[in-house]
Structure 1
Amino acid sequence: MFFRLLMESFRRQRRRKMLAGVAILLGTTAVTAMLALATTIGDRIHKELAVYGANIVVYPKADLLDVKVGGVDLKPASGGVYLKESDLEKLKTIFWANNITGVSPEFHMAGMMLVRNTATGGPYDPRVIWHWNDPRMAGFGAFPITAVGYWFQHPFGALVTGAPQMHPWWQLQGRWPVERSITATHGEGAQEIVLGSALAKRLGLHIGDWISMGNEFEGDVVGIVTTGDVTDQQILYPLDADDQVAPVDQNGKRIGEVQRDISRVEVSARTKPEDAFARVDPDSLPPKQREIWYCRPYANSISYQIREAIPGAQAEQVRRVEQSEGNVLKRISGLMWLISAAALLAAGFAVSAAMATAILERRGEIGLMRSLGASKGAIALLFYAEAGLLALIAGSMGYLLGSGLAAWLGARIFAGDGGAAEAVLIPVLLPVVVALALVVAIAGSTPSIRTALRMEPSAILRADA
């Protein structure tokens, strides 16, 4: 009998139930979309703000030491101390290794000068000659430059990373150098290089030209890059260039293992926005609190783990990038929660209005059931069952529509990720959304149900007579 009354209420009051269902549907659609976006917005914002550069920088700890005599800084320009490229493999062993999305080591090679070649020996003469720093070369128009070794499309575990991935705002004409390239255009030891746009303009070089340094180095220009910073004045070459000129035995095999030095490393990692707890010195915390700090993906905790993993390394967060990412994430998350709360509140008011009208129309039915002996609890259970069934149906549909809306919004807001809408079906959200729909339906129905139960059956039946 109970289920018959339940089904009859849906059949006879289809319009009222539809209005209440649409209100719940719209509310749960908005909530699902916001929750689905919230689960991925951290990664999306991290990708969008990658144009600001890495959020963690690693360099030799000894570079922090100042060596001064009589107020004169005697420390070499390069710092004289380097990290080892082989130690970067240890980044894969830290607790938050899976949060690392990009790695770009650099080796700054200074103390060189470039001078235009005045020889006219033919098409295979280099346009520019590269000399080690010699003050006497200034009289021939030479000027000092810095060459920087980078990774280009370098495999690093599951990542393919390097300078182009870490600096997406760089504008390239031509192509990036190919790592571990043996084939050379102009010589057996030639390396593929990229010139900064200002340097290429100053020297009058173009893609296809080459630079020579006697028998020690030759560089084929395969690209010209514009960065808007000091890199426009530099030469970019593959960090593994030394591999090409390493000593080999009579069988052509390399003698020993090349240990490449690196001056600094830029690391990009997904992090949790910084709060007061993130700024605490972990060594001053009790063991339990230190473990909590260590297991949170703060930029500071990831930097701390990098310092533990790589000997002689100093890792610090780049506050400009990290704080920008955290502030944007906090504001967007706050807006999402505000929209969700407003959608649920509006749905609750709509359900309350629909249920109040439905119960008003069913006063006679309520009075008759009460006069026939039905208890207040049984009548309340009937109306709550109607609201619950309506919430289950509308909430499930709202979950599906909200997932589609999240995919559409993600494709429009974060068009840089590819622009195409991808499905955002997150199964764990289904019970959460249905539970919220039940709360809204029950909360919206309760005032009307309580009002109906306070009415006397005789007064209801007398009024309808």
Structure 2
Amino acid sequence: MVGTWFNKKLTLTNNDTMVTGLPKIKKWWAIEGTWLKDNDLTGLLVGEGIAKNKNWQIGDIIVLKGIGTEKKLEIKGIFHSGEGDDQRLFVNLRVAQQLSGNTGKVSKFDVSALTTPDNELAKKAAINPNQLTVKEREIWYCTAYASSIAYQIQEVMPDVVAKPVRRIAESEGKVLEKNKLLLIFVSIISVLGAAVGAANLVSVTLMSRNIEVGLKEALGITMGMLCWELLSSIFLINCVAGVIGFILGQGVTQIIGHIVFGSGVPFSIYSVPLTIGLILFISVIGSIPMIHYLRTFNPADVLHGRS
């Protein structure tokens, strides 16, 4: 039998509130029936394994005997966890404390956190945090590694032993790593798509101005000057599009952050030079067809209407 919170409302030191409990920690559990509430002292959840062995059904009354007391509890839900928890009973924390005679005491608590995948620094710190340099320790301490979170829990609760559940932490890390690769792939495709769009824009612009270009070249303007003029106009258009895209991208990022993670995404100053670099890259790549066209351009053909 395990006693736990189900929808416990907590007030933090900054007066913010949060709701935590088993449904938040064990999100992958498949449950038939309903979760318990923290004010439900007459219900319990049973694992799929023990329910099959005992032939229990939702609505059955189970008598649990404790130290000098017993309670009749109704099965409100049967869950499948895929783990050893399928052989356990889960009740309200107060019920378990009363039956065991340990009022106000707990033996274990689970913490769910969105962690950063372990790298060499995290593995080094997991062996012995004291062997880190000052800079390494600062980076490790301020990053959401599973080991750094466990270390900070032990700092504020020195009488406990905090251990990451490696299988879960590593699984979450692998998912985040795959998502990272997916986002990088999508970003590359987006940049290539933007370059193709810029190339098409250049081609259309050049074809619509071919008489003007032919006349300028016939009057003695060099190909280099023509390329510079057209490149400047392309870069200006890309800058305007880049600024608009940057602003819209930051807005969409905040919306996604609040929808998915429940909080905003901090602005990174590194995104500014990255955006400028992408604008330059797209401008150059998109101008390749124009440069190739101007190299084979014959102003006489254009001015005589043959091109």
TM over 0.5, shorter chain: yes
SS in 1 for 2:138: helix
- Over the aligned positions, Cα root-mean-square deviation in angstroms equals 4.6
How far 1:265 sits from its partner (Å)? Answer: 2.2
- Work out whether 1:277 is the aligned partner of 2:121: yes
1:175 to 29, 34, 53: 34
SS in 1 for 2:104: coil
**Greater gyration radius:** 1
Question: Which residue is equivalent to 2:74?
Answer: 221
Q: Deviations over 1:195-223 (max 9, x none)?
A: 34444555565525241648623132142
Contact 1:303 1:315 in 2 (8 A): yes
The structure in which a higher percent of residues are helix is 2
Q: Which moved more, 1:311-320 or 1:236-245?
A: 236-245
- Work out whether 1:444 is the aligned partner of 2:286: yes
SS in 2 for 1:316: coil
Residue correspondence of structure 1 range 86-97 to structure 2 within 5 A: none
Question: Which residue is equivalent to 1:122?
Answer: none
Q: Deviations over 1:8-60 (max 9, x none)?
A: xxxxxxxxxxxxxxxxxxxxxxxxxxxxxxxxxxxxxxxxxxxxxxxxxxxxx
Q: CA–CA distance in 1 between the matches of 2:293 and 2:77?
A: 77
Q: CA–CA distance in 1 between the matches of 2:188 and 2:31?
A: 46
- Work out whether 1:267 is the aligned partner of 2:118: no
TM-score normalised to structure 1 length: 0.48
> Which residue identity is paired with 1:163?
L
Question: Which residue is equivalent to 1:165?
Answer: 24
Question: Which residue is equivalent to 1:132?
Answer: none
How far 1:280 sits from its partner (Å)? Answer: 0.9
Question: Which residue is equivalent to 2:14?
Answer: none
Instruction: Specify which structure has the bigger relative contact order, considering alpha-carbon pairs within 8 angstroms and separated by 6 or more residues.
Output: 1
* Paired residues, number: 284
Q: CA–CA distance in 2 between the matches of 1:176 and 1:357?
A: 62
The structure in which a higher percent of residues are strand is 1
Contact 1:180 1:240 in 2 (8 A): no
How far 1:378 sits from its partner (Å)? Answer: 6.5
How far 1:279 sits from its partner (Å)? Answer: 0.6
2:90 to 233, 236, 246: 236
Q: CA–CA distance in 2 between the matches of 1:334 and 1:196?
A: 37
Identity %: 28
Unaligned runs of 5+ in 2: 12-16
TM-score normalised to structure 2 length: 0.69
Question: Which residue is equivalent to 1:148?
Answer: 2
> Would the alpha carbon gap of residues 222 and 175 (structure 1) be closer, same or farther in structure 2, given more than 3 Å must change?
farther
Unaligned runs of 5+ in 1: 1-146, 182-189, 248-256, 411-416, 418-423
> Would the alpha carbon gap of residues 400 and 425 (structure 1) be closer, same or farther in structure 2, given more than 3 Å must change?
farther
Q: Which moved more, 1:280-289 or 1:435-444?
A: 435-444
Residue correspondence of structure 1 range 9-408 to structure 2 within 5 A: 147-157=1-11, 158-181=17-40, 191-200=42-51, 202-203=53-54, 206=57, 207-211=59-63, 213=65, 216-227=69-80, 228-241=82-95, 258-262=103-107, 264-281=108-125, 282-349=129-196, 351-352=198-199, 355=202, 358-359=205-206, 362=209, 364-366=211-213, 368-369=215-216, 379-380=226-227, 382-392=229-239
Q: CA–CA distance in 1 between the matches of 2:77 and 2:186?
A: 47
Q: CA–CA distance in 2 between the matches of 1:328 and 1:265?
A: 25
